[in-house]
Structure formats: structure tokens, C-alpha cells
Amino acid sequence: MDAAMRGDARKETPRSRLLAAALALYSRHGVNGTSLQMIADRLGVTKAAVYHQFRSKDAILLALLEPLVSDMREVVERAECERTRTAQVESVLTGVIDLAVRHREVSALMQADPAVPALHASQSDSAALSERIGQLLLGPDPEPGRLISVAMLGSALMMTGKNPKLAAVEDEELRRQMLVAARRLLGLRSRG
Amino acid sequence: MDAAMRGDARKETPRSRLLAAALALYSRHGVNGTSLQMIADRLGVTKAAVYHQFRSKDAILLALLEPLVSDMREVVERAECERTRTAQVESVLTGVIDLAVRHREVSALMQADPAVPALHASQSDSAALSERIGQLLLGPDPEPGRLISVAMLGSALMMTGKNPKLAAVEDEELRRQMLVAARRLLGLRSRG
DNA sequence: GTCTATAGTCTGATAGAC
DNA sequence: GTCTATCAGACTATAGAC
């Protein structure tokens, strides 16, 4: 794999440092509550230096969301290939929990920040992926109770990683416990 | 009860209309994504007319949160008076679900909007109430699994009401189903 | 890649007439 | 209670020197 690196995970570049700073500020103050000046100040540079890396503020948000959206698409498509309802639910549940844990902050941002739907009105639609995840968990003709359980699960999975009390919990532990709790919430038996 | 009305529920006043407009905009665009001009436009008046009702933008948000914060305090204080752990959990769970359903939009705002913690740094602290709710649900020396279940429950309860798929569900139905789901999530037996 | 400087717009908030 | 008019400051974004 060469210099074309995906997302922000590869190496310490000016771009990746900028994305990390932006994510921290977006998480705390929201996208609309964060100015380019704040991002520049945190990096110790000027606004113009920020604009050298990204052509607009939207582009920064898009770059932050892209790895998560990409992974979401993969999870959804894999789950939709399963042939039994049970296997679909199992696949999407483990997949989404894995996402939510690996991309803790970005998940909460995508779920809760009003700037995200405003942005994706024109871009690769995260809302459509969330919708497909919901459908996979709901199945056909869901009862009201199921509808409500799935709605609760959606918020819980995407927002929980942001909880400061869980900051010290390691990924594997968090993933395992969230899966157990999610199964209880949906009324699934634990896997033997 | 005379003209001194609490919150926004009492009657159709200019003030209550303004709060309703602000809540709708805050829910969709976030507090920081909503300008006073947008609120004024929605009411068909000018910004100056808005400033006649509220001395600042913060004051509008504070007025929106006040009824929820007040009800939260009542729920927490009542639950803390219970003498057994089981009764405490039962009390806080039913109380919070009732809140979250009655104040659907405001609950999501309080839980997720970055403007709320920024505001309550100086005002009657909703964060402290959320903390006490968490403590009541956790109990002393919680295991990691319990910690994570309660974190998930917190997000789920406060955010679920905002879900557009549940907009048509009536309060009583939503309350009942959320209680059942919350009990499953926490591993409590359903009440006979 | 980073800077200074600035354009043009919108922001929250105020003053004062009606 | 609502208006017009205005303020000072912050905002995103651009231009061009180094």
C-alpha cells in the first residue's frame, strides 16, 4: 500500500493532525459551535493554513465521516447478503457495535450533530445507511414494541461511546458488554 | 391559578409561540445552527420583537429547558428518598421515562446539544441531575457490564423520543414499551 | 505550507420612534 | 409590542506575498 492513505489512521501528517483537532472540537462544541479559527488556534497556525488542507469547512466534516460511512456501508451490505433473519440480525448487530466502538467520537457526531444531515443532503447518504440498518434489525411487519426497542438501540449504540465514564474502557471489553446488553434489549438469547 | 403560568404549557401567548418556534428550530438545526433571525422569520416578526420577550438567546434556551430540569429534579429527589435499591431503580426508571416521553424534543436537546452544557456551566445544573440519575441506576460498586448498560440506557431514554418513526406513537404506548425495553436492557424481571 | 490582509456576510444585541 | 436603524464583532472564504 503506497502513499494514498485512507481516512486519518495511517500516519502523522498535517492533514491527520488537523482532522484530529477538528474532531476533538466538533465533539465538544458541535460542528456549528466550532469555527475555523478555533481549529487553527488549536494547531497553532492561521485559518489560511487550514484552508490549504481543506477547501471548506464542510470538507473537513466530510473527511471525518468518510471512514465511518465506508465501514457502515460494508456492514450493511454484508448483512443484507445473509439468508436468514437471525443471521441478518446477528451480522448487523456485531458489525454496528464494532463500528460504534472503533469510531466512538465520530459515531456520536454522525448520530447527533445537526450539521451532518444538513451536509449529507447533497453527499453520500449516511441517513440511507442508518435506515437500512434499522430495516435489518426490524424485519418485516414489526410490532410497536420492536419498533421502539430498535429505536432505543440505535441511539444507545451510536451515542454510548461518547460517554466520558466509558473513556477508560478498552475496545474489546466495551464491544463485548455492549453486545450482551443489546441482545438483552432486543430479547435475543445469549449465544452459547 | 392565576396569570403567572409555568413554562410554556398554559396558554397561547406571544411568549409560548416564540418558545415553540425556537424549539422546533433548535431540534432541527441545533442551538448554534439557529439564529435569532430564523426564529423571528418563522414568527413573521423582526429580531427586535424577539428581544422584547427574551433578553438574550441563552434566555430562550434556559426557558425551554426549565420545565424539564424542574421535573428531573422532582424525579431524582423522590427516588433518592426510597429506602431499598429496588425501589430506587423502579422509581427513577418510571420517572425518567415519563419525563422523556412528555418532553420528547427538549429531552433530546438537553442530552445532545453542545449549547446546553456550555449554558449550564453558570446555571442550575442539568449535568448534576443526570449524574444523580446515573448513580441511582448504577448503585454502589457497579460491575463494568452494569456501567455500560446504564450508559446505553441513558442515551436511549433521552434520545428515542426524537426518532421520527415514533412521532405517531402516543405517549402512553411509548411510555409502556420503553419501560419494558429498559427493564430488559437492565436485566430486571417484568413487574407482575 | 504558512503567512497577512481583506472581502462580504451574518451574528447577537441596543437605541429610540410609534 | 412591534418597528427601523445601527453597532461592533465573528464568521467563511479568497488573494497574493514569502
Which of A82, A15, A3, A68 is closest to A45 using CA atoms?
A15
Looking at strand D, which nucleotides approach a protein CB closer than 7 A? 1-5, 10-16
Specify whether A48 is located in the same domain as A128.
no
pLDDT digit string (tens) for A21-45?
A: 999 999 999 999 999 999 999 999 9
**Residue A4 counted as domain residue:** no
Chain A residues within an 8 Å CB radius of B149:
177, 181, 184
- The pLDDT score that the predictor gives to residue A10 is 61
Q: Confidence band (pLDDT; 50, 70, 90) for A2?
A: very low
Q: What is the rounded CA–CA span in Å between residue A135 and residue B120?
A: 38
CA A69 to CA A124: how far, in whole Å?
8
Q: Which residue range is the domain that position B92 belongs to?
A: 66-186
The model's pLDDT over B173-183, given as tens digits with 9 standing for 90+, comes to: 999 999 999 99
Which residues on A lie below 8 Å from B157 (Cβ)?
152
Q: Select from B165, B184, B187 the Cβ nearest to the Cβ of A151.
A: B165
- Count of domains forming chain B: 2
Same domain as B81, residue B38:
no
- Compute the average pLDDT of residues B98-124: 91
Residues A33 and A81 in one domain: no
CATH number assigned to the domain comprising residue A48 = 1.10.10.60
Q: What is the DSSP string of chain A?
A: --S---TT-S---HHHHHHHHHHHHHHHH-STT--HHHHHHHHTS-HHHHHHH-SSHHHHHHHHHHHHHHHHHHHHHHHHH-SSHHHHHHHHHHHHHHHHHHTHHHHHHHHH-THHHHHHTTSS-HHHHHHHHHHHHH-SS--HHHHHHHHHHHHHHHHHTT-GGGTTS-HHHHHHHHHHHHHHHHTPPPP-
Confidence of residue A4 (pLDDT cuts 50, 70, 90): very low
Tell me, yes or no, whether A165 and A80 share the same domain: yes
Q: Is the pLDDT score of B100 beyond 60?
A: yes
Residue A182 neighbours by CB distance under 10 Å: 22
Q: Are residues B115 and B167 in the same domain?
A: yes
The fraction of chain B above a pLDDT of 70, given in percent, is 92
Q: Is residue A90 domain-shared with residue A174, that is, in the same domain?
A: yes
Region B40-65 average pLDDT: 98
My answer on whether B115 and B81 are in the same domain is yes
How confident is the model at residue A13, as a pLDDT? 93
pLDDT digits (tens, 9 = 90+) for A117-139: 999 766 668 899 999 999 999 99
